[in-house]
A and B are shown apart, each in its own frame.
Chain A
């Protein structure tokens, strides 16, 4: 494609119609740049061919980090730096004292896994307090579903395809962004 930054946006008012329209578009070779939905539409990531997210793997690694921190902390404080004999239970080796540290080991594992996971999620999504809304159309957090499709050359074929697949509103985002052509059309 020569001019890949030609973009058409199509609005749908139903998640099932949206899902059904993805396959014909991808079969024709159109690149769906983004889909904005008001709620997680089941199977949408699969239909768009998105890779599996690695969020869970990161959480596992963060959990291991938390566990290591807890082991180091208890080892340094209770065994190395200031070993005490509390209630006739001397702090000789970490291993012998380990049962008493299980709650700490567990809590630190969860603490690190959960918090670092959420930080990763924000960073990967590019989300931070005060960031401008990422959805171009405010209706997509209510009941509308918006698709951004890249095309090159003539847009007639794409428009027809979207109309046939139930899009309720089709807009062209022109190359220079301040010149947007708006054309609303009823599908049925």
Chain B
């Protein structure tokens, strides 16, 4: 029952026992942080505080502090929103879709990938919130009985669908993540020596004891949640894309948007997972669990989804020409050759060209190269949203209202602030949460651990 083909590379390297996994996962929490962690936290905190200042300025003064104008009435805010939501998608894909496909390599990365999902969705949700202008009225987006004269929400509107999609996605991801975390919190509780630490993990672990019946329920709940999260994650970016696709703006009004956005989301999400995990595995010495093989697998997904995105770009161009609609044709011609040509070609280079390097095994198994490409892809995906949003808006039907968009320091500050906030959350998580789903990982130690595999193939050779 613990056998796996010897052709498969081990997923856990080194001579590990169950206890070693426990010790390695608990180590970042039980030991002092490395200096690099403190440096990263300080930089992130400064960026975060700068963002908080810009958000407070926006709320206090108004949306006029941003670079928006009457023609370009959506720009960085919604670009950042879509970018962050997209990044979140990889976490759910790893923890839910790869669970349904029984991909064992997900086990050492799903915890951190899903933490990334939750932290990214937090950043995303900020933007529509502050773009409302009067954030204290944000509860208007929910269908709450009120005294304003039957003022209900409009269920025909994609923006309302988005409210439901994002809040469902965030809350379901959170409980899915937490259900998986409980046994690992229990492990930390049972190891904790300091009373405060023991008390905190005791509260967090809900009394988990690893009873046979509880594990049976755990596995079924995980499976059902994965089954629910899989269509959910696809629906989220589909609905985000409908914010654009159901409008009548040339360049937005296309039926290809839902699959194209979902592929782009997975693409950028995996790139962010690479960025985070390459640093984390080094900082906390997790190389035995997050191996080159894991990095290579993710690079293959980046290559595939990057190519899907590339095909979507080309299909859009073809359909614009083939439709014979003058406005549609101009929108795309303007993207590639108009005043925002640099954004369009940055997007093309980063998203279509750069992932093609992953066809070469030497490159996709190189950590430095992967790290660089992961950053490039995320820059490219930010430009994709910028191109879709700003270049479609800035030259509308009436040439007299054609204009350009330039961000103010507030736009930039809020964006940098969310990056800071994201990393603050992730860095705090990395020092207080079990960053690897150790209970799950222990189930594959005997089938995919290097020492066990070696032992097994040796004993087979002797017969």
Q: Are the chains A and B members of one assembly?
A: yes
Are A127's CB and B216's CB within 8 A?
no
Please determine whether A141 and B182 come into contact, CB atoms closer than 8 angstroms. no
Give complex CA distance A108, B160 in Å.
Answer: 13
Assuming the A-B contacts A35-B212, A138-B190, A142-B19, are A110 and B172 also in contact, with contact meaning beta carbons closer than 8 angstroms in the complex? Answer: yes
Known: A40-B215, A130-B202. A77 touches B155 (CB 8 A): yes
Is A140 a contact partner of B217 (Cβ separation < 8 A)?
Answer: no
User: Which A residues are in CB contact (< 8 Å) with B211?
Assistant: 34-36, 125, 134-135
| Per-position 1/0 for B202-246, Cβ under 8 A of A | 111111111111111111110111001101100100010010000
A74 to B1, CA, bound (A): 50
Q: Which of B362-395 contact A (CB under 8 A)?
A: none
Known: A38-B439, A77-B143, A115-B171. Is A44-B186 also a contact (CB below 8 A)? no
Given the contacts A82-B150, A127-B207, A37 and B215 also touching, CB distance less than 8 Å? yes
Kindly list chain A residues whose C-beta atoms are within 8 Å of the C-beta of B208.
127, 133-135, 141
B-contacting 9-mer, from A50-58, A167-175, A179-187? A50-58
Chain A residue nearest to B204 in the complex (CB): A129
Please name the residue on chain B nearest to A136 by beta carbon.
Answer: B209
**Size class of the contact patch on chain B:** 35 or more
Query: Contact check: which of B18, B155, B205, B209 meets A104 at CB < 8 Å?
Result: B155
Q: How far is the CB of A168 from chain B (nearest CB, A)?
A: 13
Task: Check A132/B210 contact, CB under 8 A, given A39-B439, A89-B156, A143-B19.
Answer: no
Query: B152, B171, B203, B209: which contacts A140 (Cβ < 8 A)?
Result: B209
- Verify B189–A118 contact, CB threshold 8 A: no
**CB-nearest residue of chain A to B201:** A133
Q: Report if B176 contacts A (CB, 8 A).
A: yes
For the complex, give the distance between the alpha carbons of A53 and B424 in Å: 40
Q: A107-B165, A111-B171 are in contact. Are A128 and B190 (CB under 8 A)?
A: no
Q: Chain B: interface secondary structure? A: helix
A residues less than 8 Å from B176 (CB atoms): 114
Provided the pairs A34-B212, A36-B209, A37-B212 are in contact, do residues A16 and B225 lie with their beta carbons within 8 angstroms?
A: no
Residues of B within 8 A of A77 (CB): 143, 152-153, 155
Closest-CB distance, A93 to chain B (whole angstroms):
14
Known: A118-B179, A132-B207. A107 touches B217 (CB 8 A): no
Instruction: Say yes or no: A74 contacts B439, CB within 8 Å.
Output: no
A100 to B164, CA, bound (A): 13
Closest CB in chain B relative to A138 CB, distance in Å: 4
A81 touches B152 (CB 8 A): yes
C-beta contact mask, A99-111 vs B, less than 8 Å → 1, else 0?
A: 0110110111011
Q: A39-B183, A110-B231 are in contact. Are A100 and B219 (CB under 8 A)?
A: no
Give the docked Cα–Cα distance between A135 and B17 (Å): 21
A-side interface residues toward B, CB under 8 Å? Answer: 15-16, 34-45, 48, 50, 53, 55-56, 59, 73-74, 77-78, 81-82, 84, 86-87, 89, 91, 97, 100-101, 103-104, 106-108, 110-111, 113-115, 117-118, 121-122, 124-135, 138-143
30 contacts between A and B (CB under 8 A): A34-B211, A36-B209, A38-B183, A38-B442, A39-B442, A40-B440, A44-B212, A48-B212, A56-B224, A59-B224, A78-B155, A82-B150, A86-B157, A103-B164, A103-B242, A106-B231, A107-B161, A111-B167, A113-B224, A113-B228, A114-B172, A114-B228, A118-B178, A129-B206, A130-B202, A133-B202, A138-B191, A140-B190, A142-B22, A143-B18
The 8 residue pairs across chains A and B that have the minimum distance between CB atoms: A134-B209, A131-B207, A135-B209, A138-B190, A143-B18, A127-B206, A103-B161, A39-B442
With A36-B210, A133-B189 given, can you name 16 additional A-B contacts, CB distance below 8 Å? A40-B443, A42-B1, A44-B212, A55-B220, A55-B224, A78-B156, A81-B150, A89-B156, A103-B242, A104-B160, A108-B164, A114-B228, A129-B206, A130-B203, A142-B187, A142-B191
Which residues from chain B sit less than 8 Å from chain A, CB to CB?
1-2, 17-19, 22, 143, 150, 152-158, 160-161, 164-165, 167-168, 171-172, 175-176, 178-179, 182-183, 186-187, 189-191, 202-221, 223-225, 228-229, 231-232, 235, 239, 242, 439-440, 442-443, 446
